[in-house]
Structure 1
Amino acid sequence: MPASRRKIIIATTAAVAVIVALGSAFLWFEARYLRPFSERTAIFSGAAIRLPADIAGPGPIRLVHFWDPACPCNVGNQQHLAELVEHFSARGVEFYGVQKPGSHGQLPETLKDLKPLAQLPGSEKLPASPAVAIWDKAGNLAYFGPYSSGLTCNSSNSFIEPILNALAEGRSVNASNNMAVGCFCDWTVEAE
């Protein structure tokens, strides 16, 4: 076989191998990240959500952040949460975090002030994350649901700032059942 023909066969084989490898990598990436990152509808019902006994009852406004380290939807949400912590901690709001059971990861350094909760009664039936629950000063669940509606979350489309402002001013809020379309990841682990 002539040397030029052998070079063409080797180059063609290498090109096909690269194309197959890139295609496989894209399919893995799509299955791992793009599918859970798509917009979906989630229905949040706060009927079963309770604060742990050691922090329940009258006290400061309490915000609990539900997060899954593997969820790509956390990226924009965590920046927004860091801004909330910075602004509302000075107004007496306490911030807590609940990590998806069985997951492993750490919040970014900007969220180091979140107090970790091992579990939150009723959160095992959380439909999706990222999500938030807010209790008023009387210890009543004021809000349970997403941070916002849509694929991104920031102060311009967030539900949280108006709720925290209302509670800080002593106004009543009762929004513990919500439906939203946004970037969410499943919270419950499906049996295999």
Structure 2
Amino acid sequence: MEQYRRLGAIALMIGWLLVTALGYWLYQDKVTRPYTTIDSPIGHGELKRHLESAWTTLPGQGEAFSSGPTLIHFSTPQCHCDQQSRQHVSDLYDIFDGTALTLVQATQSYDATSTAMPRAQTIALPEFWAIVPAVPSAALFDASGTLLYFGPYSSGPICGAGINFVEDLLTRLDKGQPPSPWINDMAVGCFCKTGTYST
């Protein structure tokens, strides 16, 4: 009798593990997807130059954002990942509060409206949105206008839950260790295609 109880307990545990694994797999399958490899007719080097040119020639940019790095946030309220991304960006800003970091919320057109993030400046950047394959994503520039990063914030089913690409770069900058410029077109996480970029 004791043996049957043990076998029953083991069977229940195995069943619970299988149901849990299946639930997690279904959740991952529904929520996570590739960031979408940038299938661009131009290479990463030219893409970097295009973004730097668009950023440094923005009216008033030089005066407003020359004191430190600028983090540009791309997301849309229609994206189901937006709420988590906003919280993640807010947490990032709290971590680096007191540094020279500037946060910018990018809109897709000059007449677009956006729910502004706390402490973020809202700027129309249609030239950037034209090459953003999925959101949430970010662009990071140093004070001189050099592009340091372009791509997703992190990997994982929830923004900030996996590898924190942007946080790692900001930490290095804060320590005086400028990172090598990086266009990250490979990650798996909670992303929504923008529909503005052909892949």
How far off is 1:74 after superposition?
1.2
Q: 2:115 aligns with which of 88, 106, 111?
A: 106
Q: CA RMSD in A?
A: 2.9
Any gaps of 5 or more consecutive residues in structure 1?
1-34
Q: 2:191 aligns with which of 170, 178, 184?
A: 184
Q: Which runs of 4+ in 1 moved over 6 A?
A: none
Q: Give the Cα separation in 2 of the matches to 1:38 and 1:100.
A: 24
How far off is 1:122 after superposition?
3.4
| Inter-CA distance 176–88: structure 2 relative to 1 (3 Å threshold) | same
Residue 130 (1) aligns with residue 136 (2) = yes
Q: TM-score, normalised by structure 2?
A: 0.66
Counterparts of 1:103-182 in structure 2, within 5 Å, are 105-107=114-116, 111-119=117-125, 121-154=127-160, 157-178=163-184, 179-182=186-189
1:43 match: secondary structure: coil
Q: 2:36 aligns with which of 42, 52, 70?
A: 42
- For residue 85 of structure 1, what is the aligned residue in structure 2? 93
| Inter-CA distance 41–119: structure 2 relative to 1 (3 Å threshold) | closer
1:142 match: secondary structure: strand
- For residue 28 of structure 1, what is the aligned residue in structure 2? none
Q: 1:68 aligns with which of 58, 63, 76?
A: 76
1:49 match: secondary structure: helix
The C-alpha deviation readout for 1:55-104, integer Å capped at 9, x for no partner, is 24853111000011100011211111111122223111000011344865
Moved more, 60-69 or 163-172: 163-172
| Inter-CA distance 120–135: structure 2 relative to 1 (3 Å threshold) | farther
Any gaps of 5 or more consecutive residues in structure 2?
1-28, 39-43
For the Cα contact (< 8 Å) 1:141–1:174, is it kept in 2? no
Structure of larger gyration radius: 1
For the Cα contact (< 8 Å) 1:36–1:184, is it kept in 2? no
- Identify the structure with the greater strand proportion: 1
How far off is 1:181 after superposition?
1.5
| Inter-CA distance 93–120: structure 2 relative to 1 (3 Å threshold) | farther
For the Cα contact (< 8 Å) 1:67–1:100, is it kept in 2? no
How far off is 1:144 after superposition?
0.8
- For residue 22 of structure 1, what is the aligned residue in structure 2? none
Q: Give the Cα separation in 1 of the matches to 2:94 and 2:35.
A: 30
Identity %: 26
Q: Give the Cα separation in 2 of the matches to 1:144 and 1:63.
A: 10
Q: Give the Cα separation in 1 of the matches to 2:112 and 2:31.
A: 18
| Inter-CA distance 120–61: structure 2 relative to 1 (3 Å threshold) | farther
Q: Give the Cα separation in 1 of the matches to 2:160 and 2:31.
A: 17
